[in-house]
Structure 1
Amino acid sequence: MDIKAIMKKYGIKADKRLGQHFLTDEDPIHAMLNAAGIHRKDCVLEIGPGLGVLTVKLCEKAGKVVAVEKGRNLIPVLKSTTRDFKNICIIEEDVLKLDLELLKEQYFNSDFKVVANLPYYITSPIVMKIVENRSMIKVAVVMVQKEVAHRLTALPGGKDYGILSIAVQLYADVDIVCEVGREAFIPPPKVDSAVVRILLRQEPRVMLEDEALFFKVVEAAFGERRKTIRNSLKGRLVFPGISLDKIDAALEQAGIDPTRRGETLSIKEFARLTAVLRH
């Protein structure tokens, strides 16, 4: 597909407000399709299809494709590039405002997969929406900023490990499929990209009695990354009955050295600490 020719034909200019960068290299597309394991029985949700480069490939392989595009100027282009397919539905909408349960009922007859080149400026909210709707999504294969990919896959102890890492890894297994240079896009973004595969889990990686409190503890621990876990919780953790004595006792009971930094704690350690703090 000649992206430059399509842009010229329809007078399309990338909208910086929507983080539009159009993929011209088909190698990452094939990598995404393979990682998602797309076959004829699959229902696929594509977010931010742009000019339809990935959309066409999805239509060739999947049973049903629903493409959600916020940019009104791109809808006529999408309809043109996919005109030969009967298994495509194009929706002009902000995916963050979409009720995915309703979308499933209206367009799919089963659970679905997500395959998308995500807009950079709303990557994290979309990824979290995918995780929150894990009951109906089998797998998501998405292209994101390389930096975000490293955060999604980060392990405890590294600079990339943080709240997003834990929030996603609690309910998913995440791996990097491939990296994509900025030269693969028109116009080139200021950063490189990467394709990640998110295999959703129906049950959390560790059982939690109180997920809301778990994330309060995680957020407090990462509130000031350079501080020890003790001092971070002391300054930022707020809930009825909390005190420094309770924090000290909980850290000791959970077997966590109070001088460690929050970024060194695993999901299991955060869960153990939360369980002790709760009682």
Structure 2
Amino acid sequence: MKNRLADPKFLKTILPRYGFKFSKSLGQNFIINPSIPERIAELSGADSESLVFEVGPGAGCLSYELSLRAAKLITIELDKRLVPLLKETLVDRDNVEIVKADALKTDFKELASKAGEFEKIIFCANLPYNITSPMVAKLIEAKLFSEITLMLQKETAERICASEGSREFGAFSVFVNYFCETKKLFELKSEDFMPRPKVDSAVIQLIPRKNFNVELKDPELFRATYRSAFSQRRKTLLNSMSAGELKLDKEELLNALNAVGIDPGQRAETVSPDLYARLSNEIYKI
């Protein structure tokens, strides 16, 4: 059956009834291509044994598809205008819980604990673009989800999934790719949304790692290490890191770089996440 919640004619009928107008500040763009939420839900890993979390459900088109597959869906919406609308559009889905909250302040572990026992807990959402980076970091740091499937701005998706040596590879790439396996699933065009955003989008999937090639001695030092490296990315690692937040003199830093086999003349974007982890562990000894 066609998902009417992704039908622009239906949306133009129901949204005014709730006094809803799209908010740029909340990054609101609703999917209007019915094949997309179905495809995302199919790729999300949602099944009859899973608890699924969603953020920014909009009118509920992805929520609906996820609820058809999941044991339970908890969808979190900040916009108070959309909560009663969602209660109408998802009224027939008795496995859906709608929570009005700020996702960046939400305790996912607490909500999951109250929801009961499930084989796995996953996250799937068309994320509001204005909260992408802090939301992705929060999801990874929660250490709760077996799969994280996200629709993002295409440029951000490419940055997250980038490999060392590429132009897109940056500090956030190091963070995400150390903790997760990353994969870009497919791309979307601006005409798939209402209103049309000025950028294209992509769907990516993150699989949090259970085992690491390099175990971190100090996660905060790891963050300081790669952030220092990218603080002046046009400079060599030795120069950018000695001027960064690590507060090391050049001789100490040079010894650490040499100890893990990194050329001090390299640029930040040429070093892999695992090598940054090894470097932070070496700096930990100082």
TM-score between the two structures when normalised by the length of structure 2: 0.92
Unaligned runs of 5+ in 1: none
C-alpha deviations, 1:69-109, integer Å up to 9, x for none? 00000011100011112111100000111111111111242
- Conserved 8 A contact 2:45-2:147: no
> How far does residue 32 in structure 1 lie from its aligned partner after superposition?
1.1
Tell me which residue corresponds to 1:167. Answer: 175
Please tell me whether the aligned partners of residues 46 and 70 of structure 2 are also in contact (alpha carbons under 8 angstroms).
yes
Indicate which of 49, 53, 62 corresponds to 1:45: 53
Q: Which amino acid aligns with 2:101?
A: E
1:67: Cα distance to partner? 0.8
Q: Which residue of 1 aligns with 2:251?
A: 245
Q: Name the CA shift for 1:205/1:148 in 2 (closer, same or farther; >3 Å).
A: farther
Is the Cα contact below 8 Å between 1:170 and 1:206 reproduced in 2? no
User: In the alignment, which residue of structure 2 is the partner of 1:229?
Assistant: 237
State the alpha-carbon separation in 2 of the partners of residues 138 and 238 from structure 1.
Answer: 33
Displacement of 1:226? 0.3
**Secondary structure at 2:263 match in 1:** coil
Matched letter for residue 253 of structure 1: A
Letter in 2 for 1:122: I
Q: Cα–Cα, structure 1 residues 38 and 238, in superposed 2: closer, same or farther, change >3 Å? A: closer
By how many angstroms is 1:199 displaced?
A: 0.9
CA deviation after TM superposition for structure 1 residue 272, in Å = 2.3
CA contact (8 A) 1:66 1:90 kept: yes
Counterparts of residues 132-147 of structure 1 (less than 5 Å):
132-134=141-143, 136-147=144-155
Give CA deviations for 1:121-155 in whole Å, capped at 9, x if unaligned: 00111111110112x21111110110111011100
Q: Deviations 1:13-33 (Å, cap 9, x if unpaired)?
A: 111111111111122212211
Q: Residue 150 of structure 2 contacts residue 205 of structure 2 at CA under 8 Å; is this kept in 1?
A: yes
Whole-angstrom CA distance in 2 between matches of 1:40 and 1:148: 31
User: Following superposition of structure 1 onto structure 2, how do residues 125-204 of structure 1 map, counting pairs within 5 Å?
Assistant: 125-134=134-143, 136-204=144-212
1:228 positional shift: 0.4
- Structure-2 residue corresponding to 1:102: 110
What secondary structure is seen at the aligned counterpart in 2 of 1:90? strand
Shifted more, 73-82 versus 58-67: the winner is 58-67
Structure 2 residue matching 1:72: 3-state secondary structure: coil
In the TM superposition, residue 278 of structure 1 has moved relative to its aligned partner by: 2.3
Q: State the Cα RMSD in Å.
A: 1.4
Judged with a 3 Å threshold, the aligned counterparts in structure 2 of structure 1 residues 101 and 11 are, in CA distance, closer, same or farther, namely same
Post-superposition CA distance 1:192-213 (Å, at most 9, x none): 1111111112344521212221
2:24 is the counterpart of 1:16: yes
Asked if 1:258 is matched to 2:267, the reply is no
Give 1:254 shift: 1.8
The SS at the match of 1:18 is coil
State the percentage of identical aligned residues: 35
Cα distance in 2 for residues equivalent to 1:203 and 1:121: 31
**Segments of 4+ moved more than 6 angstroms:** none
1:256 maps to a residue whose letter is I
Is 2:77 aligned against 1:69? yes
Count of paired positions = 276
- Contact 1:206/1:267 (<8 A) preserved: no
Whether the 8 Å contact between 1:79 and 1:90 is mirrored in structure 2 is yes
